[in-house]
Structure 1
Amino acid sequence: MNTKLVNVALLSALVSVTISTHIVVNAAGGGSVVTSDPNKHFDPKGQAPSKYTLALQNGLRKTLPFDDKRDFEEAQKGFIAAPEYKQIMAEAGNVAWDMGSYEWLLDEGKTFDTINPSLQRQAVLNMAYGLYEVLPDHIYQVRGYDLANISFIKGKTGWIVFDPLTAKETAAAALAFINQQLGERPVVAVVYSHSHGDHFGGVRGVVDEQDVQSGKVKVIAPEGFMHHAVSENVMAGNAMTRRMFFQYGVLLPRSPYGHVDQSIGKNTAAGNLGLIAPNVIIDKAFTEMTIDGVNMVFQNTPGTEAPAEMNTWFPDLNAFWAAENITGTIHNIYTLRGALVRDALEWSKQINISLYKFGQQAEVMFSAHSWPRWGNERIQEVMRSQRDTYAHLNNQVLHLANQGVTINQIHNVYKLPDSLQRQWSAHSYHGSEEHNSRAVLNRYLGYWDANPATLMPLSPEDSAPLYVEMMGGSSKIIAKGQQLFEQGKYFHAIEILNKLVFAEPQNQAAKDLLANVYEQIGYQKESPSVRNSFLAAAYELRNGMPTGASPKSTGPDIIRGMSTGLWLDYLGVRLDTSKTADKHFVINLVTPDNGEQYLVELSNSALTNIEGIQSPQADLTLTIDRSELNDVMMGAQSFDDKIKAGKVKVEGERRAIDELMGAMVEFSMEFELLPGTLPDTVK
């Protein structure tokens, strides 16, 4: 039941693992890495930067604080060595990682008018590659091996690894490289700072699961880690992954005209994502622990960058690990691939706690992304700037909302104060002021602007023909759109061209002109997530949505880590209700090897479940070990296969499970985000 992923000959590292039941864990992947000549556009329809884009870029070069070089000094401080290789191969035979694909960024003195100057600066900073010393004889990082950094704390006998990257292959390469440079040492513990895949997925590259299960190696994680590591991207995982083609620029070549950076790192490794369950859970606000002679204080920070996340203080070293709560960028309050909106105020408050509990003594601060900061004054400066940015975002958006500014206006009204705009650590590379401000308002007031006209609007494909008719038809819209484009009024042009494309999806002239508009906006944007979204949309409008076979990626570790209840919830999402009208049945599900019992009921075309309950009037009772159910969840075998093999005890009417599983939809990513982009072969 493998899902087809949208793919293309120029597919860059795919930023997801698709599991056969269509459950997606973001930030891992497979695919190819493609570059193009940096001196010319990779797309025959591509455009050079307009005079308005050039004027904006030149203005930014004059007004942004480029004379502040401290980030560059810090990014290179402590450099020990870089490996001879630039590529790391995946076990599947593809290139898992290719730092060399971005080397055109290191052309000294070269400015790219297709890249916002602030983003170009961030992209160069993220080119750090190799082994770095953070604190002599104690703390080291390997950077540039994945989206995240992998950090190594030197204990009495071995390494304590913080955040083992996305992929087994890149994590293993990082461990081999530090051992080559500093001497062979075993891994005695792994710390997962939080529940995103680029911070745990490479764990099998640094430890053996048997050593974790025996207790020989500690794997430490914050409370709620396992649930959130699996669940965040399950219910809408298929849609999230399709949308990630825009946010992460998956189909864009690495080029000044395409993908240049991912703000918190270059890109995501395309290798094997795994998950070994932690054997130590941090469940208090602050927890002190000594491992292999290293004293640590863990600070739980739930509801910040991740729903389960923690910082770490090293009291004997005056070193603070900021996880992904404080990095070289203001992060996403709303991530464009889709996720629950984060709490900017809580994020600010947790940074404030860190500032006053640890920041007054810290002499080095390092994190899961970007580069460390040294010296207490510098550390406090960065902590305050990020604390204040999140607080200002939350408070000022609500200040404006309380004066009547709506979700459809806030992104055009909200601005950071000049004092924060002058600090690089307050710039929104991973986020953007525009989409983060809308996210804050959405968190408190929801998506509606209180205008009844927007509460239940027509779908775009239904409203667009009316607009096109009233504007006098496609030729007038294209003429006006071209005029607006030539005047640099790009968002005005979008207003009418988007309507035309929805009304006439096969109007290639309209799609090409809209693509030209999107491209200029992409060139101008500081946030790579926003840039990628506009440039990827331009590509699809010009060329259609590319198709092809997906990487053959499965995630047995993720399936094993998923609760049975979450899997049953997801079956409810996959249910084709056209096949369940007037059907009603109750199934008892028993998994003896882990002692679970669930009651599953189909009623009114809704599939529900409840743990710990069994019905004496159930239509069917299925008894199957959870270890066997994993194969069904993974799609490796069906219930029918398990029944024939004698692995399932069946009591009652078997038709209930047959009808239920027969009503499951296999989601595909072959759906349009933009009209008229689906190839004829998949229509």
Structure 2
Amino acid sequence: MSEHPLELSTRIIDSGVADTPPNRITEELSELADGVAIVESFSHVVLVDTGDGIVAFDSSSAKTGPRVVESMRSWTDAPVNTLVYTHGHMDHVGGSRDFAADAAANDRPTPRVLGHERVVPRFERYEATNGYNQVINLRQFGGAARTVAAAAERPFIPSRTLRPDTTYDTRLTERIGDLEFEFNACLGETDDHTWTWIPERKMISAGDQFIWNFPNCGNPQKVQRYPLEWARSLRDMADRDVELFVPAHGLPIAGHERIRRCLLTVATTLETLVEQVVTAMNAGAQLDEIVHGVSVPDETLRLPYLRPMYDEPEFVIRNIWRLYGGWWDGNPARLKPPADAAVGAEIAALAGGVDTLVARAVELSVAGDHRLACQVIEYAAAAEPESHAVHDARATIYSARRAVETSLMAKGIFRSATADSEFAVSGEAPEVKMVLSIGEA
């Protein structure tokens, strides 16, 4: 049995040192309080015994759902009364079919599914953009996007995923068994998020509003995220008389002051980042100036629950710009730009040929100027997209860049670029290692 999650989180937060990953996928169940347990999975499943059945928060993914149910049944034989979706991401809802199967196997009704009213439109959007979601998930974990054609035929939403049958708009309070549950809607990583206050347990189920990493508020491949509303939800949580705080990724946290300190630090970090970006926008700065001029202090990013190992501030800055300023970055040449192939061909002609660009890109990469190296090799690839020599260099350059990145988002996309070039040379898709532990890419 691994170290108890509450003991581990207390040690990490109080020492300020994360000497072991706080995001664990053990499939083990730990009891957090009387009648409260967590199965650490991807994502976690939080179980609350109401005296009249179990309320489960999230169901984990389609791959991990069976083991979650198995761990739950090692703890209790009680029926699952309600399955709460903290939001509609597939790693939170995909295992719902296993909860349904468990109920059927025990001749019980399928659990009621409760979620925000925007969960169902999210599922509908996923169905409409099925192929795109297959592409971005393959890319996020470093796969060759060129090979996605077959994967795009598979359904992104796992078969038999349960849809919510109880939805709400802003807030819903229900008494289930012996406990009151206050379900609160909030914006943040998603527009369909629910965090839940259980006053008799002095407990909050937070979903992904706290993930033991820099907030996932800038994912470059996903739809709009909401930093100020995210911060507001954290402040709302901190104002409760909470003693047990349980996120869907990362460790649960015990103790009111410890919980409050963590939540308010993350809230302040998001608020400050928004203030800096909007102030620069109001002064007429373009996106390029803001991306390279606004930052989060290093000491903040060293906190064990704010490290940029999944998302990172640079991506959040771009998301803030998109939220307040639209898609155009302020550079007039990029309002209606030429095709990448035309730019690549022109740059290659000016440089004296693609070979010159490749040589310079490699030189820049060796010198550690990875941003410029990648841009130069992209000019070469745009000019001669079928060149094996270009793709050999491109694969090497992006592999070097991935090695110095911290966030899973950046590592995955740069590994995908490497994989695409390897596929262009060999015709064989490299194996993709799915990284399930957030921040370990």
If the TM-score is normalised by the length of the shorter chain, which range does it land in?
0.7 to 0.9
- Residue 379 of structure 1: how far off its partner (Å): 0.4
Which of 344, 367, 378 pairs up with 1:498? 378
Matched, 1:281 2:163: no
- Following the alignment from structure 2 to structure 1, what is the Cα–Cα distance between the partners of residues 408 and 170? 36
In structure 2, do the counterparts of structure 1 residues 72 and 516 end up closer, same or farther at CA, with 3 Å as the change threshold?
farther
- Aligned-pair distance for 1:417? 2.7
Residues in 2 aligned to 1:142 and 1:250: alpha-carbon distance in whole angstroms: 29
Q: Aligned match of 1:353 in 219, 222, 236?
A: 236
Structure-2 separation of matches of 1:159 and 1:463: 59
Q: What pairs up with 1:388-407 in 2 under 5 angstroms?
A: 388-407=268-287
Shift of 1:76: 9.7
Distance in 1 between the 2:260 and 2:10 partners? 18
Quote the residue 1:131 is aligned against. 28
Q: Distance in 2 between matches of 1:74 and 1:132?
A: 16
CA distance in 2, matches of 1:317, 1:376: 13
2:38 to 125, 141, 144: 141
Largest Rg, 1 or 2? 1
- Given residue 342 of structure 1, which amino acid in structure 2 is its aligned partner? R
What does residue range 627-646 of structure 1 map to in structure 2 within 5 Å? none
Amino acid at match of 1:274: R
- SS of 1:408's equivalent in the other structure is helix
Q: How far apart are the structure 1 equivalents of 2:333 and 2:36?
A: 57
Q: Which amino acid aligns with 2:174?
A: M
Q: Distance in 1 between matches of 2:343 and 2:144?
A: 30
Contact 2:143 2:415 in 1 (8 A): no
Q: Aligned letter for 1:457?
A: P
User: Are the counterparts in 1 of residues 244 and 256 from structure 2 also a CA contact under 8 Å?
Assistant: yes
Provide the residue aligned with 2:8 in structure 1. 73
Letter in 1 for 2:136: R
SS in 2 for 1:453: helix
Task: In structure 2, list runs of 5 or more residues that go unmatched.
Answer: 146-155, 431-441
Contact 1:331 / 1:429 at 8 angstroms: preserved in 2? no
Q: State whether structure 2 residue 189 is matched by structure 1 residue 305.
A: yes
Q: From the superposition, tell whether residues 413 and 307 of structure 1 become closer, same or farther in structure 2 (CA, over 3 Å).
A: same
Cα separation, 1, equivalents of 2:27 and 2:231: 32
1:343 aligns with 2:226: yes
Q: Which residue of 1 aligns with 2:68?
A: 174
Amino acid at match of 2:30: E
Query: Number of matched residues?
Result: 407
1:527 CA displacement: 0.7
Q: Which amino acid aligns with 2:202?
A: N
Task: Identify the match of residue 246 of structure 1 among 115, 120, 139.
Answer: 139
> How big is the shift at 1:391?
1.2
Task: Give distance in 2, aligned partners of 1:280 and 1:229.
Answer: 15
Alignment of 1:638-677 (within 5 A): none
| Match of residue 333 from structure 1 | 217
Aligned to 1:314: 198
Q: Which residue of 2 aligns with 1:409?
A: 289
Q: Residues 501-516 of structure 1: matches in 2 within 5 Å?
A: 501-516=381-396
| Distance across 1 between alignment mates of 2:359 and 2:59 | 53
Q: Percent identity?
A: 20
Deviation at 1:389, TM superposition (A): 2.0
Q: Rate the CA distance shift 1:486–1:340 in 2: closer, same or farther, 3 A.
A: closer
Output the amino acid matched with 1:341: Q
Letter of the 2:120 partner, please give it: M
State the shift of 1:461 in Å: 0.7
Instruction: Please list the CA deviations of residues 111-157 of structure 1 after superposition, one character each: whole Å capped at 9, or x if unmatched.
Output: xxxxxxx9x967x333441334353322111113xx20111112214
Matched ranges for 1:43-122 at <5 A = 73-74=8-9
CA contact (8 A) 1:330 1:429 kept: yes
Query: Quick one: distance in 2 between partners of 1:184 and 1:216?
Result: 15
Residues 415/369 of structure 1: CA separation in 2 closer, same or farther (3 Å cut): same
When residues 385 and 184 of structure 1 are mapped into structure 2, their CA distance, relative to the original with a 3 A threshold, is: same
2:310 paired with 1:430 = yes
Cα 1:189–1:484, aligned 2, differ >3 Å: closer, same or farther? same
Please state if 1:160 is matched with 2:160. no
Structure 1 residues 250 and 492: alpha-carbon distance in aligned structure 2, compared to 1, 3 A threshold: closer
Does the 8 Å contact 2:215/2:306 carry over to 1? Answer: no
Residue 326 of structure 1: how far off its partner (Å): 1.4
Match of 2:181 among 296, 300, 310: 296
The whole-number CA distance in structure 1 between the counterparts of 2:165 and 2:397 is: 52
Contact 1:151–1:161 (8 Å) recurs in 2: yes
Which of 362, 366, 369 is the aligned partner of 2:242? 362
1:320/1:366 contact within 8 Å kept: yes
Sort the Cα spacing of 1:524 and 1:71 in 2 relative to 1 into closer, same or farther, 3 A: farther
Corresponding residue for residue 445 of structure 1 = 325
TM-superposed CA distance for 1:373, in Å, is: 0.8
Superposition map of 1:204-243 within 5 A: 204-207=97-100, 217-231=111-125, 233-243=126-136
2:84 is matched with 191
The AA in structure 2 aligned to 1:540 is D
SS for the counterpart of 2:250 is coil
Q: Deviations over 1:450-485 (max 9, x none)?
A: 332111110101121111000111232233223222
Q: Could you list the per-position Cα deviations for residues 478-510 of structure 1 after superposition, in whole angstroms to 9, with x for gaps in the alignment?
A: 332232222112222222221011101122222
1:328 positional shift: 0.9
Which residue identity does 2:371 align to in structure 1? F
Instruction: Write out per-residue CA displacement over residues 166-204 of structure 1, whole angstroms, 9 at most, x where no aligned residue.
Output: 21x632332222322x24222122111112222222112
CA–CA distance in 1 between the matches of 2:280 and 2:65?
Answer: 45
**Distance (Å, rounded) in 1 between the aligned partners of 2:142 and 2:10:** 25
Gaps of 5+ in 1: 1-69, 78-117, 253-269, 549-683
User: Which residue identity lines up with residue 34 of structure 2 in the other structure?
Assistant: D
For 1:158 and 1:274, how far apart are their aligned partners in 2? 23
**511-520 or 170-179, which moves further after superposition?**
170-179
Distance in 2 (alpha carbons) for counterparts of 1:164 and 1:134 = 17
Aligned partners of 1:251, 1:501: CA distance in 2, in Å? 16
Aligned pairs for 1:455-534 (under 5 A) are 455-534=335-414
The 3-state SS of whatever aligns with 2:195 is strand
TM normalised by structure 2 equals 0.84
The two structures have a TM-score, normalised by structure 1, of 0.55
* Superposed displacement of residue 73, structure 1: 1.4
CA distance in 1, matches of 2:285, 2:130: 32
The 1:170/1:496 distance shift into structure 2, 3 A limit, reads closer
Give yes or no for contact 1:150–1:171 (8 Å, CA) kept in 2: no
Q: Name the residue aligned to 1:101.
A: none
Residue 374 of structure 1, CA deviation: 1.0
CA distance in 2, matches of 1:208, 1:149: 19
Structure 2: how far apart are the matches of 1:324 and 1:166? 14
